[in-house]
Structure formats: C-alpha cells, structure tokens
Chain A
Amino acid sequence: MGSPKKWLNKKWLNKKPLLVSAAVLTATAGIPFAVYAGTPSTVTLSVYIGYDANNPQAQANLYNKTLIPLFEKENPGIKVTWSYYSSSTQENTELQTAVATHQGPNVFELGTTFIPTAYATKSFHVLSAADWKAIGGKAKFFGPQLTMSGPNPNNYIGVPEMMLPFAMVYNTKLLKAAGISKPPTTWTQFVNDAKKMTNASKGQWGTVIDPEDSYDPWKIVWAYSKQLGSDFLSPNLKKATLDSPQVVNAMTFWFDWLTKYKIVAANDLTYKNSDALQQFENGHIGMWVFQGPSLIPSLNQSAVKGEYAFAPLPTVPYGMTSRPKGGTPTQTIVSGQDLAIPSYTTGATYQAALKWIKFITDPKQQQELFNVYGDLPVNQQAYKGDAALNTPMMKAFVQSEEHASPTPFSGDWGNLETIFAGVTNKLADELATNTFKPADIASQLQAANAQVQQSLQ
C-alpha cells in the first residue's frame, strides 16, 4: 500500500470522480431506507405523543410493556414505534415540519385546542363513515369531546383519546380553617372565601394567578367571558371580539384579584403554571382555578397530599345573582388529547393507524391511560365498574365536562392564544413596575383584537 499522497494521486480516482461520488452518496443515502423499510408484509406505525413529565417511567412502561406488545399481538404484521414531544412548542414545530415535508409520524396526539390549527393545514385525513366504524363508532365517546374534532360532524379529523376537564382545586385544610364548609359556586363567594383564607403575613393566599403562563390566563378569562355572554371570536369566526365589554370585564376581574381584592400575592406576576403549582403544593394557596386531573399524581407527592379536593368552577359572575342574558354556565373548555392521522399516511399504514386508534380508545386501554396519566377516559364504557373513576373527586370533573364549551373552531386559535398571552404579560409588566392604569386593559385588548383580526381568514 502506498503513502496517502500517492493513493490520492491514483489515476483511477481522478478519472472517475462522479462515479465514485455518486456511489458513495447513493450507498450512504440508501442506509436509512434499508434499515427502516422492514419486510413487505410488516407495516411500521409511528405514533407521536405528549411526554408525561409527572411520571415518564410509567409512561414508557405503559407503551413499551403493555400497550404496544398487546396491540402487536392482536394485530400481527403491524409494528408500532413511539416518540414524544415534551412541550406544546415542540408539538407545534413537529406538526409544522411534518405538514410541510409530508413525512413524519403516522398518528399525532394533539391537544384539542390545537385541532383547529391542524385542520387549517388541510394535511390531515377527514374521517369517513367507514373510518369511524373501524374505530368503533362515534357513540362510544363523550359527546362534548367530539365538538373539537372538526368544524362539523362531517369533517372530523380528530378522535378523542383522553379528556381533561378543568375544575378548581382547593386546599381542604385552609378552607376548613377559614370556617368555609363548601367550595364557592359564584364568583362573589369565591372572592369572599379567598379573602377569608388570605393571610399575607404567613404567605398564605386565597388563590393564585400565573399571567406569565402561555395558556392558563386565556382559559380563565375565556370561561368568565362565556359566563358573561361573549367569546373571543364571533360565531362565524370572521370577527375578533377580544375588545368586547365582556372580555374586558373578565380580564379586569382576573387582575382585580391582585389590585382590588388582594387575594393573590404580587409575586404571582412572574408566575407560570409550574410556579403556581409549586405554591399550591407547598400549602400556600387556598383555591386554584382551571386545573385538571393530570395534577393529581404530582399533588399526591407533595405537602398537600390528602388535603385537597376538586370542585367545578363558579358559574355566576362577580356581583351578580344570576348570569346575564346570553351567558352560559361554562365551567371548562372542551379539553384533552385527540388522535389525528396526517394525509401522507396512506394504504396499509392508514388502516393500521385506524386499528391503533380503535385499540387505544377501547375501555381497557382507556383505563390503563387513566392509571398512568390521570386524564379521564373519553370512552363512556370505561367508567363502568371502575372504582377509581367513580370517586367524588372524579365526579367533579365529569360534572365539569357536562358544562364544557368548545372554543371557537378557528385555524387562528393558536395565534390568538399567543397574542392573548402577550396582553397578560404586558399588563403584568405594568403592574410590576407601578405603571398600570385600569384603562390599559381595554387598550391592550383592543391592540390584540386588531392583530388577531388581521390574521383571520
């Protein structure tokens, strides 16, 4: 063998450059396909799900040791792989990449409020009557969950997988110590109860806000706006209504918890959901609104274990004895996880995806998911004979689900969420720097409304 220089100067190398380059590139490019193609009779189904930060090991065990082996045993010839996203941001970018490149996971687990955006991309299969039959029919699901599956029953792209109705979690010990016998059912009672539980010198507060969170604030303000008879978009989805008096009223009420009623700490202005959770778990918070059952595993490992309970949200606005005309008793958004199949999944893989969805939404698997995630089953049959799903705590969520309202099915909802988070963030900034004026709420919402309106199609 010659020296490297001599080897480089070999004539055959200089004479056949393109051939060699092509051979190298072809060989290397071919490797992934050779590995992943599998045998012709095997269909590989890739499933993309949300990461369970509370119990990642249990989630991995559920998929690797329980769900996938059972499914593959029941469906020979289908191999399932799974990967996860650890945040809504990652969920968002992965979906965008898959949609733009027409390749990626075969089944997406998407949050219900994200389904309108997925629908807007026109890159997901609209499920036919035959598809629904293969999944086990629409009737097996909780009705309200299907309202976020598509713009109308003929155009559903999402299949409910888990539901996450929101409620109010409260500290039973603090409630009892304040002489309160039961959780509030009106917002006036809520404020009064929170005042009773507040003891600033002890660092104990009636409730908590997290204006720096990207998602929590809009949910609370939206539900209160619905109770007042308004929404963030007009019914035909053509007009943004963030500047309506009801929404301004709702936002004002939320910040009044700090500025007027003094039932939350000023420190809350920098809080995200995780910070608020930490405060509740340390036993510093009396009531925390708009929280779901997925909180339970975390609470059970905290200082408030055995000292908390859930109740549906109050439904009568502050200072009123009943809801105004047009107001709805909204206690939660239609929330949870849906499964959707991107359009690039076709043929045998598509059929395999439908089989997986049927499998995962059947009662037994629904109960398995509940045991790990704490999110409620969407299959009504799953509740029958399962003691853990029929506790008073769970019934509070089921009761909330009965008063769930779907958020507007607009492809611009994700954009609206981000813009709304910008408003709460700016208002929190002003409050933190003592530059806040009550009129700023209306002006910030007007600016946000104009920006949302620009993007509406």
Chain B
Amino acid sequence: MVDQSNVSISAQSISVRRDRRKRNRPPYWMIAPAVFLLAVIVAAPFLVSIYTSFTSLNQYSIGNWLHAPFVGLKNYISAFTQGSAIGASALQSLWVSVAFSLLTTLCITPIGIVAALLVNTPFRGRSWVRALFLIPYVMPVFVNAITWRLLFMNGWGLVDKVLAWLHLASVNTFWLIGPNSFWAMVIADVWSSWPFIYLMVLAGLQGIPNDLYESAYMDGATQVRCFFSITLPSLRPILSLALLLSTLNHFNNFTLPFIMFGTPPSPQADVLPLNVYVTSFQTFNFGLGAAMSLITLVLMMIPAYFYIRMLRLGEATT
C-alpha cells in the first residue's frame, strides 16, 4: 500500500523545487529593451542593407526605396569587376585597406610595447609621461588629420622642408596625391594609434607576477632573456587581442583619409570605407555601395571569428 503522507510530501517537495527554480530563473525579459534596441539599431539596418544590395537604388528611386528595381547579384559582380573613373575599383580599395590595416598594426606594435615597458617600472614623473603618451590617442581624429595634411603639404609643409634639409628628398615631394598618399596615411595613423597597443600592453604588464622576474634574476637571467622568456609569453593573449582589434579598427578607418585627402582621394589612398561612402552617397549608387559594405562585412568576419574564439579561449582558461 502506498503511504499517502509520503506521496503528499514528495509532491510538496516537487512543488517547492519548481517554485524555487521559477524564483531563481533569471528575469530574461529585463533585457527586452536591449534586445529591442539591438534589433532597431543593428538588425534592421543590416537587413535593409542586404535588401538594398540586390536593388539599383539611386536618386531616382530613393523616395520610394522599398520599390527600387531588383537587379539580383549585379551589384556584387560590379563590385569586383567594375573599374572606376572616380578613384580605385572596389577590389583595388580592398587591397589598399588590407595593406593599410596590416602595415599600420605592424608598425604600432613594437612602438606600443616599448612605450609600455618604458613606463612600467616606477620613476620620477612617470604619471606625466604616461599622460603624455596618451595625447595622440585622445586627440580627435579630424584634428590629427588636418594637422598631418598641413605637415604633408608639398613645398611648404614641414615634412618636405625637413626632408629637404636632411637632403633625403626634394622639397617638392608630393605626399597628399599619388603613391606617397598611402604612406602619408600610414604615418598619420601610426602616430595617432600606437597608444592603443601601449595601453593594452601596459594593462597586460600589470598582471605579470614579480616573483617570476625575481626567480629569473636569481638564476642569472638577463633583462633581454626575461623579456623574451617571461614578458612576451605572458603578454601573448592580450597582445593577440590588441593586434586583432587594431587590424579591425584600421580597416574601418574612414575619417582620417576623408579629412586628409577629401573625396575622391588618390586611388592609392582610396580605402574601402571611403570608396563605399563615395559610391553610396556622392554618386548615389546605393545598391553598389550596400553590396560593397556587405563584402567588407564578410571579410571582417574572418578576423572577428578568431577574435571570438580567442575570447572563448580566455573564458575557458580563467
């Protein structure tokens, strides 16, 4: 015979557990406003971009953009095949952007590491030096761009004058047009963005225990050996993350070339974001511009994939 009281207790405990579970369930609905905003700010424009990329949306159809003529994959094909009388073709711009982002990241990495190492150990006036190092990073991009534009002016710009004084180049070297415009863009961007690596590395350095260095010194290791055997391996996770973020940021840099060169820029400085902008908003070819943006997004997904993997790896190891 079944003990009724046991059944009752068991049912009661199930009910209590259920209630407790219910009570402890996180109130997911509270993120509804965030989800709603994400849908409005990110998902909706993204879906509109996909739709636009399959249409020939232009100034004639923008007033009724939902009914712009459908053109299938034409814009995607044009993005890779069409030459451009304005600046660079989309494919050329892609290479400019890839080269620009990789090269800039490559240049700023050693600068950032050295700067972080310099201010990692205490010395008098360290906080002032740390603050000084941040100036290029906190300076608005447009101020940076205008300043470099003036410095790179041929004939009377400071860069040409200094190079001519050092007998390294003619005073009439053109930096803002032609092939040198790419290098001008790299130099200006390196100047303004190295503190990002510096900040990340400095944060990483704070996390390395001093015991490691003390043991190494007791074993007779030199500072160089310590750097390559302790510092660099310890910095690897944060440095990898910094390099990835830096590459992504530089790839998407629009303001610097826009202010430095205007539109349309020289093909050598016609980075993909600028090309997309000119195509979409100055020549009114919104369909082609949307297709180019989505191609950029797909390309950006490659480093983003590694970035997300790295974050998961970080979660697993902490």
A residues lining the B interface (CB < 8 Å): 8-9, 13-14, 17-18, 21, 24-25, 89, 92-93, 96, 99-100, 117, 120-123, 212-214, 265-267, 269-270, 272, 275, 343, 411-412, 414-415, 418-419, 421-423, 425-426, 428-429, 432-433, 444, 447-448, 450-451, 455, 457
Residue of A nearest to B36 (CB): A25
User: Chain B 152-187, CB within 8 Å of chain A: the 1/0 string?
Assistant: 011110000000000000001011111100000000
Which residues of B, 20-74, contact A by the 8 Å Cβ criterion? 22-25, 27, 29-30, 32-33, 36, 58-60, 62-65
User: 7 smallest A-B Cβ distances: which pairs?
Assistant: A422-B86, A17-B29, A432-B174, A267-B155, A123-B63, A448-B85, A447-B85
Within 8 Å by CB of B263, from A121, A214, A429, A444, lies A214
Q: Which of B29, B64, B155, B283 has the most CB of A within 10 A?
A: B283
Measured CA separation A123–B25 after assembly (Å): 52
Count residues on chain B whose CB falls below 8 Å from chain A CBs: 46
- Chain A residues, CB < 8 A from B63: 99-100, 121-123, 343
Residues of chain A within 8 A (CB-CB) of B153 are: 267, 270, 275
Residues of chain A with a CB closer than 8 A to B24's CB: 9
Q: Complex formed: what's the CA distance from A100 to B68 in Å?
A: 12
Let me know if B177 and A432 touch, CB within 8 A: yes
If over half of A's interface residues share one DSSP class (helix, strand or loop), that class is named, otherwise mixed; here it is helix
| Chain A hits for B84, CB < 8 A | 422, 451
Taking CB atoms, residues of chain A closer than 8 Å to B87 are 422, 425
Contact A418 B283 (CB under 8 A): yes
Chain A residues with Cβ below 8 Å from B266 are: 425-426, 429
27 inter-chain pairs at a CB distance below 8 angstroms, sorted by A residue, are A9-B24, A17-B30, A21-B36, A24-B33, A89-B282, A99-B62, A99-B63, A212-B177, A212-B262, A214-B262, A266-B154, A267-B155, A267-B172, A270-B175, A270-B177, A275-B153, A343-B63, A411-B60, A415-B59, A415-B284, A419-B86, A422-B84, A422-B85, A432-B178, A444-B85, A451-B85, A451-B86
How far is A52 from B220 in the complex, measured between Cα atoms in Å?
69
In the assembled complex, how far is the CB of residue B256 from the closest CB belonging to chain A, in whole angstroms?
16
The answer to whether A421 touches B264 (Cβ under 8 A) is yes
Q: For A428, what are the chain B residues with a Cβ–Cβ distance below 8 Å?
A: 177
The answer to the question of B265 belonging to the interface, with a C-beta cut-off of 8 Å to chain A, is: yes
B235 contacts chain A at the CB level, 8 A cutoff: no
A90 to chain B, nearest CB (A): 10
- Asked whether A93 and B281 contact (CB < 8 A) given A267-B153, A422-B87, A444-B85, the answer is yes
**Assembly CA distance A448 to B32 (angstroms):** 51
On whether the beta carbons of A270 and B263 are closer than 8 Å, the reply is no
Residue of A nearest to B284 (CB): A415
Complex CA gap A89/B281 in Å reads: 8
Q: Please tell me if the beta carbons of B33 and A21 are within 8 angstroms of each other in the complex.
A: yes
Q: Which of B58, B65, B86, B174 contacts A270 (CB 8 A)?
A: B174
> Cβ of B154 and Cβ of A270 under 8 Å apart?
yes
B188 in the interface, Cβ–Cβ < 8 Å? no
Q: Which residues of B contact A422 (CB under 8 A)?
A: 84-87, 264
Whether a CB of chain A sits under 8 angstroms from the CB of B110 is no
Q: Is B239 part of the binding interface, using a Cβ–Cβ cutoff of 8 Å?
A: no
**B278 close to A (CB within 8 Å):** yes
Interfacial chain B residues near A21, Cβ < 8 Å: 29, 32-33, 36
Given contacts A121-B62, A455-B58, contact A418 B264 (CB under 8 A): yes
- Please name all residues of chain A whose beta carbon is closer than 8 Å to the beta carbon of B25 when the two chains form the complex: 14
The answer for the CA separation of A365 and B36 in the assembled complex, in Å, is 48
Q: How far is the CB of A122 from chain B (nearest CB, A)?
A: 5
CB distance B282 to A414 under 8 Å? yes
State in angstroms the CA–CA spacing of A275 and B157 once bound together: 12
Docked pose: A412 CA to B153 CA in angstroms:
33
A-B contact count (CB 8 A): 140
How long is the Cα–Cα vector from A411 to B61 in the complex, in angstroms? 11
Residues of A within 8 A of B177 (CB): 212, 269-270, 425, 428-429, 432
List, in ascending order, chain B residues with CB within 8 A of A412's CB: 59
Q: How far is the CA of A100 from the CA of B64 in the complex (A)?
A: 7
- Closest Cβ of chain A: how far from B287's Cβ, in Å? 12
Q: Please state if A450 and B85 are interface contacts (CB–CB under 8 Å).
A: yes
CB distance from B219 to the nearest CB of A (A): 50
- Report the bound CA distance from A433 to B180 in whole Å: 9
The reply on B237 being an interface residue by CB < 8 A is: no
Q: Kindly state whether residue B83 has any CB partner on chain A within 8 Å.
A: yes
**Which residue from chain B places its CB closest to the CB of A121 in the assembled complex?**
B63
User: A9 CA to B285 CA in the complex, in Å?
Assistant: 52
Complex CA gap A425/B177 in Å reads: 8
Tell me, rounded to whole Å, the shortest Cβ–Cβ distance linking B312 to chain A: 28
Could you tell me if B59 and A414 are in contact, using CB atoms closer than 8 angstroms? yes
- CB-CB under 8 A from A414, the residues of chain B are 59, 282-284
Provided the pairs A122-B63, A419-B86, A429-B177 are in contact, do residues A96 and B281 lie with their beta carbons within 8 angstroms?
A: yes
Q: Does B267 contact A (CB under 8 A)?
A: yes
The answer to whether B283 touches A121, judged by C-beta atoms less than 8 angstroms apart, is no
Q: Considering the chains assembled together, what is the distance between the CA atoms of A385 and B46 in angstroms? A: 58
In the assembled complex, the CB of A409 is this many whole angstroms from the nearest CB of chain B, namely 13
Chain A residues lying within 8 Å of B283, measured Cβ to Cβ, are 414-415, 418-419, 455
B292 → A minimal CB distance (Å): 16
Bound together, the chains give a CA A345 to CA B282 distance in angstroms of: 25
Bound complex: CA A89 to CA B262 (Å): 11
Q: Which of B85, B155, B176, B278 lies in contact with A423, CB distance below 8 A?
A: B85
Smallest beta-carbon distance B83→chain A, Å? 7
Give, as a whole number of angstroms, the nearest-CB distance from B253 to chain A: 17
> What CA separation (Å) do A8 and B24 show in the bound complex?
10
User: Which of chain B's residues have a CB closer than 8 A to the CB of A265?
Assistant: 155
**With A21-B33, A93-B281, A423-B85 given, can you name 9 additional A-B contacts, CB distance below 8 Å?**
A100-B63, A121-B59, A123-B63, A212-B177, A212-B261, A411-B60, A429-B177, A448-B85, A457-B60
How near does chain A come to B85, taking the closest CB pair, in angstroms?
4
Of the listed residues B64, B85, B263, B278, the one surrounded by the most CB atoms of chain A closer than 10 A to its CB is: B85
**Closest Cβ neighbor of A445 among chain B residues:** B85
Residues of A within 8 A of B30 (CB): 8, 17
Question: Closest A-chain residue to B87, C-beta based?
Answer: A422
- Taking a contact as CB atoms under 8 Å apart, the answer to whether A117 and B27 are in contact is no
Taking the nearest CB of chain B, how far is it from the CB of A340, in angstroms? 13
CB contacts (< 8 Å) of A448 on chain B: these are 85
Contact A212 B60 (CB under 8 A): no
Q: Which of B249-270 contact A (CB under 8 A)?
A: 261-267
Q: Please measure, in the bound complex, the distance between the C-alpha atom of A269 and the C-alpha atom of B153, giving whole angstroms.
A: 10
